[in-house]
Structure 1
């Protein structure tokens, strides 16, 4: 039988001195090899909060949890079901309970800190850092805040006997206003077609959302998606209570989407204030306010109930504007603030083609408490007809230096500088 000969290991074929050298080299290589990395534990949810000992925001609680740890409370606050509103919690140390809140200490005049026996700790959600905005203009990073007020007639603003709106009035005073943006015409004056036209710059026969049916997709790009096509790292945020706004009408590439409770404007406001508190807030934000769309009394500029809803939403807008100008870097940024509505109304409804139903609003400015910026638009623009296709998308694209190839055109008095 023929025996197969296998070569001896290299070390056995070397002289003794070479073998010693070989073994030393192998030992050195083993010593140089990296050790397996230790398993990484998941960061504690409490890392997202700042703790204040012996303090509470007592009296402003929205949800109570029993038998929980501080970590469990933090996890609950950060959960998808609560992230639209939860910004802090108080922890009861002895009883292992916590109260989740939609308020921060600054919202209620500070924390209560004079408790005997140190029973509570307060945990405040830290502002997120965000992603740096890639769009830089000659006067700083350019952002867009779109405020959508459902059902606001253009002729219900800035007129004798109309609702008193200090926030909207300040925006118009340092910018521009159009009191009769033409909704409807070739489409109904329902919300779905109106918002679809504003978001795309096309009428409903082209963008595809011909009714309030939430299953109808946009067939034309959302203006915010156009921005992300050119600037992929731009971030997009949307908040609204109407399912279509956070569903079929939202940008496909939205980074942050919050669905607030029905007609709860404060929750939507708090979401926007949270984004504005970030070091790097979203590049563009859509902030939807629903309470002016009353369907209960007259959509009449002089109707007291209609006016009360406009006044209420104006107060919400003021909170957001205060949060915006409180940004430490606000003077070095340029924000285009655009207020738009999807339709007007007549009697207790809308959908038809009457003058009141077709009358939508537009306010826009890039100079709110930032007077060093050259104005993007100024004055009363109402004298020049402006169809709804031109109200939002063309102005946003123009301000950000992007090509507008939609069916709409910006107002001739407006333009990026």
Structure 2
């Protein structure tokens, strides 16, 4: 079974899939408390959540109708760096030491992403990642979250693509990522793929999530998702392949815009899983509420990847290092 994971940055699932959220009590409140350091200061007066009215994400709704949507709760701080590091590596903030988007002091080299885990399980596996945000895939940046794996990169077994066309902001960059990813998915059919879009997050920061602009951004990214699903659906149709399509987000957006704290609307995420060519794997069908670091292990189990590990207490890998206690929020240390 091949895996396609689509990351939609900054999506409010209660606006994209309102009926799904309303029907599942797991979406109502976070399943674990946030750290007091990242507590919300309260919304400004006069802003109500947006009302989507007609469906704004028909592709997501179609995927959900034939699949499974599992509530996911992000652990504050609800920023993209910590969020995607946790979602893609299956580790907590304390384990990967990613607390901000600057990735200062990260331990990502010790926390392989799910594409790398697929390769480690079977060195014949081909992997691909494309992202609007370079921090996820660009080896020259502060990350990346997705390991470069240069030996496989040279031979084309592992490909990374970072957007370069920001002439129209993240909108043009997302279109570039969509085009590249759809071509690779359709023509090469990697065994495991991650594709990231950032347009909704950009719109949320600029306009907030309560207005028409945010809903239009949801419609746009939903169409990007359709392109990618169509690319793999053709392989299922013509080659008889088996694909697991998953969609998630790293955080939501406040009505006034922004994220990073512990409000329910920004901590609420989701894992939508739809199998093209068969029923959703039992491990997903039986899943209940997840935390962000549980998403990658669940997807790996769904496609049959079982991690190897040393027995508990084995001395290999033990390092004396800076404690992973995270930031103090003392402004003297904020730069």
Shared topology, TM-score over 0.5? yes
- The count of corresponding residues between Structure 1 and Structure 2 is 253
Q: Which runs of 5+ in 1 are unaligned?
A: 1-141, 407-417
CA distance in 1, matches of 2:286, 2:199: 26
Q: Is contact 2:59-2:225 (8 Å) kept?
A: yes
Structure-to-structure mapping, 1:301-312, within 5 angstroms: 303-312=211-220
Bigger RCO of structures 1 and 2 (CA < 8 A, at least 6 apart): 2
CA distance in 1, matches of 2:275, 2:118: 18
Say whether 1:296 aligns with 2:224.
Answer: no
Partner of 1:268: 177
Q: Specify whether residues 353 and 401 from structure 1 end up closer, same or farther in structure 2 by C-alpha distance, changes over 3 A only.
A: same
Structure-to-structure mapping, 1:284-363, within 5 angstroms: 284-293=192-201, 294-300=204-210, 303-327=211-235, 330=238, 332-346=240-254, 347-363=256-272
Given candidates 389, 402, 405, the residue that maps to 2:293 is 389
Q: Specify whether residues 379 and 401 from structure 1 end up closer, same or farther in structure 2 by C-alpha distance, changes over 3 A only.
A: closer
Which is greater in Rg?
A: 1
Q: Is contact 2:9-2:250 (8 Å) kept?
A: yes
Say whether 1:366 aligns with 2:271.
Answer: no
Q: Which runs of 5+ in 2 are unaligned?
A: 20-50, 139-143, 310-335
1:375: Cα distance to partner? 2.6
Q: Is contact 1:177-1:381 (8 Å) kept?
A: no
Bigger fraction of residues in helix: 2
Partner of 1:183: 74
1:330: Cα distance to partner? 4.9
CA distance in 2, matches of 1:173, 1:343: 23
- TM-score, reference length from structure 1: 0.56
CA distance in 1, matches of 2:298, 2:247: 12
Partner of 1:249: 145
Q: Is contact 1:146-1:285 (8 Å) kept?
A: yes
Q: Specify whether residues 374 and 348 from structure 1 end up closer, same or farther in structure 2 by C-alpha distance, changes over 3 A only.
A: closer
Say whether 1:149 aligns with 2:52.
Answer: no
SS at match of 2:205: coil
Say whether 1:259 aligns with 2:174.
Answer: no
Say whether 1:194 aligns with 2:83.
Answer: yes
Partner of 1:173: 65
CA distance in 2, matches of 1:295, 1:193: 18
1:217: Cα distance to partner? 4.5
Given candidates 280, 289, 295, the residue that maps to 1:375 is 280
Which stretch of the first structure deviates more once superposed, 241-250 or 212-221? Answer: 212-221
Cα RMSD (Å) = 2.4
